[in-house]
Amino acid sequence: MVDLENIVGVLKGLRGRTRDLIYDVFFTERRVVAAVVLHPSDFVEEYGKSDLATIMFGGYAKQREIKIRSLHLTEERRSAFEGKTADELLASNRANMEMDYENIASVRIKKGLLGTSLEFVVQLPPGKKIDFSLDGSQISEAEALVKKVLPTKVK
């Protein structure tokens, strides 16, 4: 019999190491799974080519094209996430990652002048931190979810 792992909650649109790396972060009964919604490699073609319009009129048209494509990709990937198991989410992109709750030493929500982040400190490798940037509107949802799944590790 397969032991299915229920998804307890999700925080959508968290930013990773760079501003253009966006994850939906799923909290299950046993782990955190960060699934890529947008990755910088999604736009290599758009950033890599220069056409006459970009040269003549600047990057406005290019930025608009990238914005439209990012909205389409976000919608497409989020609909693909629906109904998937944690393992399927993890396998859907090589840049996805997981953190078993047993490997998480602590978790905290850091509020500062430059923004708010969700910070996980893992045991292996020792002291490694994994940060996700939150919007201010997500703070209470993030706090409630973290307290629900990792009550003894909240700092």
Return d(Cα 96, Cα 123) in angstroms, integer.
19
- Per the listing, tokens 């955190």 go with 32
Three-class secondary structure of residue 30 per DSSP: coil
pLDDT in tens, 115-146: 899 999 999 989 899 999 999 899 999 999 99
**Residue 77 CB coordination number (10 Å):** 19
Residue 11 lies inside a defined structural domain of this protein: yes
Tell me which residues of the chain have a pLDDT lower than 70: 1-3, 44-59
| Domain ranges, residue 94 | 7-149
Residue 64's pLDDT is 82
Residue 22, number of CB atoms within 10 A of its CB: 22
Query: Is 39 inside a domain boundary?
Result: yes
Q: Is 1 within a domain?
A: no
pTM (predicted TM-score): 0.87
List the beta bridge partners of residue 26: 10, 33
CATH number at residue 131: 2.30.29.30
Q: What is the pLDDT of residue 120?
A: 96
pLDDT at 55: 60
Residue 23 lies in a domain: yes
Whole-number pLDDT of residue 99: 97
How many Cβ atoms sit within 10 Å of the Cβ of residue 6? 9
Residue 50's pLDDT is what? 62
Residue 75 belongs to some domain of the structure: yes
